[in-house]
Structure 1
Amino acid sequence: MEPEQIITIALVDDHALFREGLREILESDGDMRVVGEAGDSAAAVTMIGRTLPDIVLLDVEIPGEEVTETVSRIRGLSPGTRIIILSMYDGPQLLSRLLGAGIRGYLLKSVHRHELIAAVRSVHEEPTRVVLAVSRNSLAQVEAASSAPTLSDKELEVLQLAAQALSNSQIARRLGLAEATVKRHMRNIFVKLNAVSRIDAVNKALAASLIAPYTRIDPD
């Protein structure tokens, strides 16, 4: 087989036995070759920067830095590399964050070998395709979140403090902003969420999981 037809793959998982099993599965088909392995995030970034593989199979719980940061660093070093996450869990919040970071696949480690091979081939042949093997519930939550309005980081900060019943002047002091700037952020929030009041905006943001619930704890 010609070298350009070979799909090069990097394996990132802290369990050597699991990596060995993946290597055997992938290389059994003849058109895939594992070009590097790593057991933690720092070693993974170094190895991928050296080998520039077509595909990375990345354990979501790899030791080291947070997985979304590892994904960002890999994409910065090797933009052409497609990242497929392997995980024991399919939590929708983490899945949403990883999709936002630019992964091209998220597979549960319970998938069959033919599903793994098909996923690798799919994202290699069509770099914009995203392959997911998760529960219907997680997928539904991710789809719901993707349709939610997008607020800027500062707007989210303002709204999170508004959810704590802080006034515009209190929010301004807390964030080191002018009160007029806070009012402008609130107007933008109302428009984006189609809200008619602060309470309405907070409730809609909570329903869309844009901000975290806040519970006031009164001192004894």
Structure 2
Amino acid sequence: MDDRTTVLIVDDHSLFREGLKELLESDDDIAVVGEAGDSESAVELAASLKPHVVLLDVEIPGDEATTTVSRIQAASPRSEVIILSIYDGPYLVQSLLARNIRGYLLKTVRRAELLAAVRTARTDHDRVMLVISRESLVQVQPNAANPLSARELQVLELVAEALSNGQVASRMNLTESTVKRHLRNVFLKLGAVSRVDAVNKAVAASLIKPPSIPHQP
């Protein structure tokens, strides 16, 4: 009976996938059973292969990382997800931890740490491994009462008034790209999938007042 830990690698760089596969399979107790380069393929392969562990990069084409994790978990409940990425923004880490990932590792992680994370994900369901920057580690504990910063709340309040990103930027004397960045952080912190969803969740949590006029999606 083959009792090796099976792994699905999800990364849009084929050279990185090849190197990672070679590294993982250097140990006899780990087998890479599939590779994917985008979120849709990742979900499909997770559903068909049911791997013990999915190593997932957060910046692959397709869905947001949080959505991809949720879809993988629904498609293959036994699969444990470990994030392996060059990016470890604290808001993203928080959002993914809330979705019960089993590890978040920077791609600068040592070989021994990676192998330990893969084995632990299968054998110890109460442990989460974090190998991230000190700055992100300090910030991963969310403020349960109000996870949004004052600026993020201001942006969301204006969004609730049906203002576009450009109008919010003008009102707050910001660039539109800065407004988009604040909204992305809001989505990640609240687990929202759209502007309307973010407003509704913020209202439900009493973070902002209900909008007085209908807002745009």
Q: Same fold (TM over 0.5)?
A: yes
Give % identity.
50
Tell me how far 1:175 sits from its aligned partner: 6.1
Q: Does 1:84 align with 2:85?
A: no
Please identify the structure whose Cα radius of gyration is greater. 1
- Cα-to-partner distance string for 1:9-28 (whole Å, 9 max, x where unaligned): 00000111100111111111
Deviation at 1:62, TM superposition (A): 0.8
Aligned to 1:37: 35
TM-score by length of 2: 0.70
- Quick check: 1:118 aligned with 2:116? yes
* TM-score, scaled to structure 1: 0.69
Residue 149 (structure 1) aligned to one of 123, 145, 148: 145
Cα offset, 1:140, TM superposition: 1.6
Output the CA distance in 1 between the equivalents of 2:211 and 2:66.
31
Q: Deviations over 1:86-105 (max 9, x none)?
A: 11121100000111122111
Shift of 1:173: 2.9
- The secondary structure found in structure 2 opposite 1:127 is coil
2:194 match: none
* Post-superposition offset of 1:157: 2.6
Shift of 1:160: 5.0
State the Cα deviation string for residues 156-190 of structure 1 (Å, max 9, x = none): 2375544xxxxxxxx463369xxxxxxxxxxxxxx
Extract unaligned runs of 5+ from structure 1. Answer: 163-170, 177-220
RMSD value, Cα: 2.2
Return closer, same or farther for 1:11/1:142 CA change in 2, 3 Å cut-off.
Answer: same
Give the superposition deviation at 1:155: 6.3
- Secondary structure (helix, strand or coil) at the match of 1:174 reads coil
User: 2:159 — aligned with what?
Assistant: none
Structure 2 counterpart of 1:9: 7
Unpaired runs of 5+ residues, structure 2, are: 148-189, 191-197
Aligned partner of 2:44 among 23, 43, 46: 46
- Aligned partners of 2:201 and 2:74: how far apart in 1? 27
Which amino acid in 2 is paired with 1:70? T
User: Displacement of 1:128 after TM fit?
Assistant: 2.5
Task: Write the distance in 1 (CA, Å) between the matches of 2:139 and 2:131.
Answer: 14
Counterpart residue number, 1:191: none
Task: Flag the structure with more relative contact order, 1 or 2, with Cα contacts below 8 A and sequence separation at least 6.
Answer: 2
Matched to 1:38, the amino acid is A
SS at match of 2:81: strand
- Whole-angstrom distance in 2 between the partners of 1:175 and 1:58: 38
Q: How does 1:134-173 map to 2 (within 5 A)?
A: 134-143=132-141, 145=142, 148-149=144-145, 154=200, 156-157=202-203, 159=206, 161-162=208-209, 171=210, 173=212
Asked if the contact 2:146/2:207 (under 8 Å) is kept, the reply is no
> SS of the residue aligned with 1:118?
helix
- 2-side partners of 1:142 and 1:148: how far apart? 12
Deviations 1:118-170 (A, max 9, x none): 11111111023111001222112112x1x5227997462375544xxxxxxxx
